[in-house]
Amino acid sequence: MTNRREDCFAVGGAMLPVAQALALLDQRVTPVEGVELVPLRLARGRVLAADLLSRQARPGADNAAVDGYALAFADLAPSGPTRLDLCGRAAAGRALEGAWRPRGAIRVFTGATLPGACDTVAMQEDVTIEGESVIIPAGLRRGANRRRAGEDFAAGARLLSAGRCLQPQDIALAAAAGEASLTIRRKLRIALFSTGDELREPNTGREPDGTSGGVFDANRYLLGALLDGPGVSLHDLGILPDRAEAVRQALAAAAAGHDLLLTSGGVSAGEEDHVRAAVAELGHLHFWRLAMKPGRPLVLGQIGEAVFLGLPGNPVAAMVCFLLFCRPLLRRLMGAPAGAARRYPVVADFTFTKKAGRQEWLRGRLERRDGRLYVTPFPRQGSGIISSLVESDGLIELADEVTAVAPGAIVPFLPFDDAGDGDGDGAQAAEGDR
Ligand code: AMP
Ligand code: MG
């Protein structure tokens, strides 16, 4: 049953601005429950389920940052060089040979714990050895070439916060803290469908003959590749026909046992578009019409325990909607902050006019000239033109209120190859970066 209060088009019927749709997504979607203990080697790209606190400081003790001679700064002459007695040797991970004593120096190697009252290290290339003495030149600072205990992190420090999508360096930090595994949110179980009687599986011998209107299914391959990652367990459920009953049955069956049902096509307002009606019948709709181009028909809903996202059928629109909505949705379901695709400011190398009141994205190509990054839209912007995606570096974003773009204007750009886990703040990269 449609829950009218949760259907934002129940009143007014206006097209929802993209920002509101993203806010609604954040509100209505909750992370999956269930965690698992995952060894570090399998943790990249997974989302941490609980804060990671350090059990000990790193480094555990003051140690040498270079190969050289450890000494007590207090032993150095106020001016001129100082002669110290060589009285021991310490290497990383090994016990001190000999013992430090006042006016003594210890031969040390990078990572060796500083013995006795040693608080400073002279670099080996700066000293002179004379028999059992070390001559330390003037000018050494107190604490030079010393790594302090706990300078990386203290015992009890929060190393990583719950909700963090783990990057290689996060895994290094966990390993450095002595953790062998991490508590991670479980993988998302995602069911993927295409819809449309015209769709054919690539290379099955049922080639579209050019007159029947058949087309090869591109979206399931596009979306399958976009979804492919460590936190996802993908279930490809094939092509649904344009028949209401078949769509309803398939969605109802898939809703049990999946966290997300992702479809493309069949969500416009036409008679052959059965997907939205099926979701409304089986569960409820959060939104289904957005003020955006490409991709106006975009459905967010819920069927039982499963979130439903219905992307438009046109492949370009499907990809744009994936980057803008499905990525944040996946992050939200995984228990990470939903965030938004990262935008980078670039210089428009084109003229363009558009209607106010909706957001638009153009596929564009970057070019660096005179130290600045310029962007030019691909000449054919039809939302069925997959080659426009291939020939472009990413999306030029034109805000709701923009009606014209002139050459030289600064426009936000969303690169296709970005990890997509930014905070949506377009200011991270200086103009001309990348
Ligand atoms: P629809 O949203 O179902 O009306 O589809 C809009 C357009 O996208 C139609 O031209 C469809 O043939 C096309 N389309 C839908 N699904 C796919 C798909 N999986 N692969 C390629 N084109 C598709
Ligand atoms: Mg269709």
pLDDT in tens, the chain (434 residues): 344 444 444 334 579 999 999 999 999 999 999 999 999 999 999 999 999 999 999 999 999 999 999 999 999 999 999 999 999 999 999 999 999 999 999 999 999 999 999 999 999 999 999 999 999 999 999 999 999 999 999 999 999 999 999 999 999 999 999 999 999 999 999 999 999 999 999 986 666 666 778 999 999 999 999 999 999 999 999 999 999 999 999 999 999 999 999 999 999 888 989 999 999 999 999 999 999 999 889 999 999 999 999 999 999 999 999 999 999 999 999 999 988 889 999 999 999 999 999 999 999 999 999 999 999 999 999 999 999 999 999 999 999 999 999 999 999 999 999 855 444 433 333 333 33
Cβ–ligand 1 distance for 272 under 6 Å, the answer: no
Tell how far the Cα of 242 is from the centroid of ligand 1, in angstroms: 11
Q: List strand residue ranges (DSSP E) for 49-187, in order.
A: 52-53, 63-64, 68-71, 82-90, 97-98, 104-108, 120-123, 128-130, 133-136, 146-147, 158-160, 181-185
In words, the CATH class of domain 344-418 is mainly beta
Locate the ligand 1 atom nearest the alpha carbon of residue 219 and give its number.
19
* Domain topology for 18-34+187-334: Molybdenum Cofactor Biosythetic Enzyme; Chain A (3.40.980)
CA distances from 286 to 112, 194, 290, 429 (A): 60, 21, 11, 34
The structural domains of the chain, with segments of one domain joined by +, span: 18-34+187-334, 39-57+161-185, 63-147, 344-418
Cβ–ligand 1 distance for 219 under 6 Å, the answer: yes
Question: Would you state the structure tokens that stand for residue 189, as one six-digit string?
Answer: 């179980």
Report residues near ion ligand 2: CB below 5 Å. 196, 265-266, 313
Tell how far the Cα of 18 is from the centroid of ligand 1, in angstroms: 22
Q: State which CATH number among 3.90.400.10, 3.30.930.10, 1.10.645.10, 2.170.190.11 fits the domain covering 63-147.
A: 2.170.190.11
Tell how far the Cα of 265 is from the centroid of ligand 2, in angstroms: 5
CA distances from 333 to 95, 226, 309, 327 (A): 50, 16, 12, 10
Chain-centroid distance, C-alpha 141: 42
Q: Which residue's CA is the nearest one to ligand 1's atom 14?
A: 313
Tell how far the Cα of 37 is from the centroid of ligand 1, in angstroms: 41
Tell how far the Cα of 20 is from the centroid of ligand 2, in angstroms: 26
pTM of the model: 0.89
Strand-pairing partners, residue 332, are none
Minimal CA–CA distance to 286: which of 95, 93, 16?
16
- Which of 192, 199, 201, 216 most suits a substitution to test ligand 1, by most atoms within 8 Å of the C-beta? 199
- Ramachandran bin of 98, using left for φ above 0, alpha for ψ from -120 to 50, beta for the remaining angles: left
